[in-house]
Chains A and B, each alone.
Chain A
Amino acid sequence: MPQSIRILLNGQERTVAQGTTVQSLLVELGLSGSPCAVEVDGQLVSGAKNSALLLGDGAAVEVVTLVGGG
């Protein structure tokens, strides 16, 4: 049983497996094929879909996309 960590994803707590990367998180969320951008702890993760950046316990992750706006 892999150990888990808690992250703050789009403002909500979520438990993910230890060793989760930005890339694997997007796969887990079903967003690997969607246009989106990711910030971890306030820093933009360039090329998030291929990012091997490891998420640490307590990481604040923002996953954003484009919506209608003026």
Chain B
Amino acid sequence: MPATDSACGSAAGAPAGLAPLVIGPCTLRSRLVVGTGKYASFELMRTAIEASGADCVTVAVRRERLVDSQGRSILEFLPLDQLTILPNTAGCFTATDAVRVARLGREILSQLNNRGAAWVKLEVLGDRLTLLPDPVGTLEACRELVADGFCVLCYTSDDPIAAVRLRDAGATCVMPAGSPIGSGGGIHNPQAIALILEMLKDPRHGGEGSFPVIIDAGVGTPSDVTIAMELGADGVLLNTGIAHAKDPVAMARAMRLACEAGFLGARAGRIVRRRYASASSPWEGMIGSASSEIPGE
């Protein structure tokens, strides 16, 4: 898909050398998507989001606080004209609940005329301890939401077959976890992530290069983000790694730079790994005892 303005979002303003991220009908300037939960204050959240450079943020759907209806809304702190809001189905343990929550989120975003109204970040969890996804429930909900016209961005485990099944069910984007949500564990199984990328994006394996794969969850440090991007992911989605950092704003900036570094590095073509050293300074012209010994020759 060409990197141009589309029905949702705009490629304009993408940092130099960085292609925008195209997900279905939406084009994002930044490949870093950030969550809005767990911040000490809405003000801090807003500043951290700005520092992250993200133009897409996730939100959750929850019951109104009827006791404190004068309480501030998160929406007052999100520049809705600049951000694509990605509503999630976090906390749902059944496909039925996830579909309900997705429809409620769409209803609210439609009122706000936000670009994210057509989107949902689908989570159907299987276990409270690990927050690992329920693959059966996720697949069931994905099918139903796709049939209902949603662009479904699917949170999934790092199981390559589950990722393929979700793609086949019509998911717009597959988002394997690096490690459990909020754990900061990084990318536990880079081989599995590499396989997912291969199976979903490599035409030799039935994939399509433009199919977006985002690493979602468990990313704790900037180096985790870079590793995900160097593996070939199209983007990274994270929340806790920034929100619970000692200095969330500084960490947000670091995450942005790490994402850009990983994206550029992956496309720059890394060197081949070698078993032995390869001197960067020439052996020729050495004085002293090394002058007569040129290793490897």
Contact = CB atoms under 8 A, between A and B. Distances in A.
Interface of A: 9-12, 29-31, 34-37, 39, 42, 44, 46, 48-49, 62-70
A11 B75 CA distance: 24
A49 B107 CA distance: 11
Interface in B211-255: 217, 237-240
Instruction: Tell me the interface secondary structure of chain B in the complex.
Output: mixed
Contacts of A49: 111
Contacts of B70: 30
Given A10-B66, A36-B64, A37-B104, A67 B59 contact: yes
Contact of A35 (B90, B112, B182): B112
Contact of B58 (A12, A65, A70): A70
B9 interface: no
Nearest to A45: B107
Contact of B90 (A29, A30, A39, A69): A69
Given A42-B100, A44-B104, A70 B63 contact: no
A2 B273 CA distance: 81
Interface stretch (B32-40, B184-192, B200-208, B278-286): B32-40
Nearest to A11: B63
Nearest to B77: A68
Given A35-B75, A65-B73, A70 B66 contact: no
Contact of B64 (A44, A46, A65): A65
B224 to A, nearest CB: 15
